[in-house]
Amino acid sequence: MQEDAYARILANPRFLELTSKRSRFAWLLSAIMLVVFYGYVLVVAFRPDLLATKLYDGATLSVGVPIGAAIIVLAWLLTTLYVARANTEFERLNQQIIEELK
């Protein structure tokens, strides 16, 4: 019974749509996070002086402080972005696929 349902879903074009859309979105967001983080790590390792640049003339804070904070905020924003789409659009598509089994 279950096996049969799985086979039918696998043949459903909507399922292909769901998985390809969702995985493209997930990989895109993962790539953004990886590029930003490892880009930052490389700057930390090779050109720390760039992060030491002062925020403005006469400032004590360096640009590294807001950049670091921005990476933390970005990490969180990416998660909200993913869930906003996954829990609405993708979830609806998912429900449709399961409905069509009946």
Work out how close the CB of 58 gets to other proteins at its nearest, in angstroms, rounded to a whole number: 10
- Evaluate the CA torsion angle 19, 22, 24, 30 in order and state its sign: negative
Total residues at the site for other proteins (CB under 8 A)? 54
CB 11 within 8 Å of CB 99: no
Is 57 a binding residue for other proteins by CB under 8 A? The answer is no
Work out how close the CB of 13 gets to other proteins at its nearest, in angstroms, rounded to a whole number: 14
Helix (H, G, I), strand (E, B) or coil at 54: strand
Interacting residue with other proteins among 6, 24, 39, 100 (CB under 8 A): 6
Structure tokens at 31: 């790539």
Phi-psi region of 32 (alpha: psi -120 to 50; beta: other; left: phi over 0): alpha
Whichever of 13 and 76 has its CB closer to other proteins, that residue is 76
Q: 10 Å Cβ neighbour count for 57?
A: 5
CA distance 63 to 59: 10
Is 35 a binding residue for other proteins by CB under 8 A? The answer is no
Which residues sit at the interface with other proteins, rule CB under 8 A?
A: 2-3, 5-7, 9-10, 15, 18-19, 22, 26-27, 29-30, 33-34, 37-38, 40-42, 44-46, 48-49, 51-52, 59-62, 64-65, 68-69, 71-73, 75-76, 78-80, 82-83, 86-87, 91, 94, 97-98, 101
